[in-house]
Amino acid sequence: MQILEPTEENIIKASEIIKSGGLVAFPTETVYGLGANGYNPIAAAKIFEAKGRPKFNPLILHICDISKIEEISTIKIKSIEKVLNKFFPGPLTIVVPKAERVPDIITAGNPTVAIRMPNNKIALELIKYSGVPIAAPSANKFGKLSPTTALHVAKQLKDRIDIVLDGGKSSVGVESTIIEISGEEVYLLRPGGLSAEVIEEEIGKKLLKKKTGKNPNAPGQLLYHYAPQKTISFLTEEELQKNKDKRIGALLFSEKFDYFNFAVKKYLTKAEDYREAASNLFFMLHELETENIDIILAEPVKEEGLGRAIMDRLKKAVNTFKIK
């Protein structure tokens, strides 16, 4: 694996790998993506193999221009232009009816496709030079912490991929929000880097909830995911007492628990700033899993705004160890 600076020459080099059916990890404003040619089912299969990702879990197609939506979906841009004009590019993925040319492996056999236009110059240039939509989940092993730096990618995927374009630390720090647009109804499938409240204000209606079946039509809907290598639970008085004789690494949102003598403390924010906390979430979990600790205790946050995305990731990480 090569970690390369995102010069134009290196972006073109990476695009040639995409065209030839290889894998490239690249930065976005949310997390780093593991990209392949979205029209090539053999290349897409390499993503599942590199990550150890189950094939019932769909991939997101990344585009560099809104006009490309009608190449991969049967939806008319004009019917959703209010959402697109406001939130594309950005940390939002839309799930819409798929076009016939989109391979079934991308959608896990579903009649819908997930589409995003990232708000990251490097990602947009890579997609443009590749000349195809890029299929990309997060560039990590399935179920593990999402990567927000090139080094996070290298640590988990090593030689399973060809190139990582190093764009520094992801600014948003959690994956995109996913909505499904079905006629007049809009469903929230995954909370993420764009708050539900902001979307609802723009579209003038509440986002509906949708039950996830055995075959999800968008990523991020499994009950367990995003797990660090160390056991993780929520920071409560009960958990503190239960683990008081262990070396605890604390992931904090406030100074409420400062009285306790933690082995390691990491503050997502000290100002209860949800945006700052989201941008630091995976970055600090990566740091904590390398520390000499027995358990990570994460302080819960209010499930509002970006707090909803933060708690979604933490709950799924905690669920991983409950299931075990």
Q: What is the pLDDT of residues 1-41, one digit of tens each?
A: 899 999 999 999 999 999 999 999 999 999 999 999 999 99
Residue pair 145/153 in contact by the 8 Å Cβ criterion:
no
| pLDDT confidence of residue 169 | 98
| pLDDT confidence of residue 214 | 65
Which positions ≥6 away from 262 have C-beta within 8 Å?
248, 249, 250
Residue pair 102/153 in contact by the 8 Å Cβ criterion:
no
pLDDT average, residue stretch 225-251: 94
Residue pair 140/23 in contact by the 8 Å Cβ criterion:
no
The two beta strands, 185-190 and 177-182, are: antiparallel
Q: What is the pLDDT of residues 257-310, one digit of tens each?
A: 989 999 999 999 988 899 999 999 999 999 999 999 999 999 999 999 999 999
pLDDT average, residue stretch 237-246: 94
The residue length of the chain stands at 324
Q: What is the pLDDT of residues 70-122, one digit of tens each?
A: 999 999 999 999 999 999 999 999 999 999 999 999 999 999 999 999 999 99
Query: What are the sequence ranges of the domains in the chain?
Result: 2-209, 231-323
Backbone φ and ψ of 178, nearest 5°? -120, 125
| pLDDT confidence of residue 13 | 98
Mean pLDDT of the chain: 95
Confidence of residue 240 (pLDDT cuts 50, 70, 90): very high
Confidence of residue 216 (pLDDT cuts 50, 70, 90): confident
Res 171 pLDDT > 90: yes
Its pTM stands at: 0.94
Res 324 pLDDT > 80: no
Res 323 pLDDT > 70: no
| pLDDT confidence of residue 82 | 93
| pLDDT confidence of residue 304 | 95
The two beta strands, 177-182 and 92-97, are: parallel
Question: Fold match between 2-209 and 231-323?
Answer: no
| pLDDT confidence of residue 137 | 97
Q: From CA 119, how far away is CA 172, in angstroms rounded?
A: 10
Q: From CA 247, how far away is CA 249, in angstroms rounded?
A: 7
Give me 124's structure tokens.
């947009």
For the domain spanning 2-209, the CATH number is: 3.90.870.10
Please tell me the CATH superfamily of domain 231-323, with its number.
Threonylcarbamoyl-AMP synthase, C-terminal domain (3.40.50.11030)
- The contacts found for 200-204 with CB under 8 angstroms, 24 or more apart, are 202/82, 202/83, 202/86, 202/87, 203/82, 203/83
Backbone φ and ψ of 225, nearest 5°? 180, 175
| pLDDT confidence of residue 145 | 96
